[in-house]
Amino acid sequence: MKTALKCIAAAAFILFSFAACEEDSPTCPSYQTTSFTFAKAGNKWIYRTTVDSHTGEDATMEITRNMGGNIFEIVSTFPGSEFGSVTQYWYIKDDKFGMNSDSAGTTIDIMFDKNTQEGRIYSAVVRNNPFLDPGDSIYFNMLSVCTNVSVPAGAFNCFRVRIWSNDPDKMPETDIYINKNSGIIKQYNEFMIMELESKNF
């Protein structure tokens, strides 16, 4: 159980490094021409978690502060996990998203921009992540630019992205569904499922 909860936290820490389609749109507009609109202080997500086929406690993510310079402070909580809660910093500007940032934005790895292509594998070297070691690699593959998914919070048109690291014991291969207006909608791997229950925006 602890391993599964750790995997939830590790995957969720990384997931916002991608982008997605418009919510509830009958067609998926080009992600190259839309921007991240969920990057606002105070925005909060609540997720239903299923771990090893058992319903777990709700996990949360919240943008707690805009640090300036397009840097946002994020606090995630994972009840029952050995981590409890973690703080991270994201760089978000228009169609660019960077993870592995510090609070001042002096270290930024851009993980997504308007040139991201479906079916191509991208990678980044870890610099600032509580679950992976500096120098570890993170990989992602944009599997689909338009996937419909239904969760307790509703139906969304999303990008589907697969992420993994060079050490599967730290972060297993995980599929995520993300909507650019609403953020992470769903994620799953062999240990867990996280589905959006509600958000406050």
Rounded to an integer, what distance in angstroms lies between the CA atom of residue 5 and that of residue 79? Answer: 9
The whole-number pLDDT of residue 81 equals: 75
- pLDDT higher than threshold 50 for residue 21: no
More confident residue, 133 or 58: 58
When divided into structural domains, the chain yields a total of 1
The CATH number of whichever domain residue 102 belongs to comes to 2.40.360
Mean pLDDT of 106-125: 72
The number of residues in the chain equals: 201
- pLDDT higher than threshold 70 for residue 1: no
Domain that holds residue 133: 2-199
Mean pLDDT of the chain: 79
- pLDDT higher than threshold 90 for residue 109: no
Sorting pLDDT into bands at 50, 70 and 90, what band is 29? low
Entry pTM: 0.79
More confident residue, 133 or 47: 47
Pairing of strands 192-199, 183-188: antiparallel
| Helix, strand, coil % over all residues of the chain, rounded to 5 | 10, 50, 40
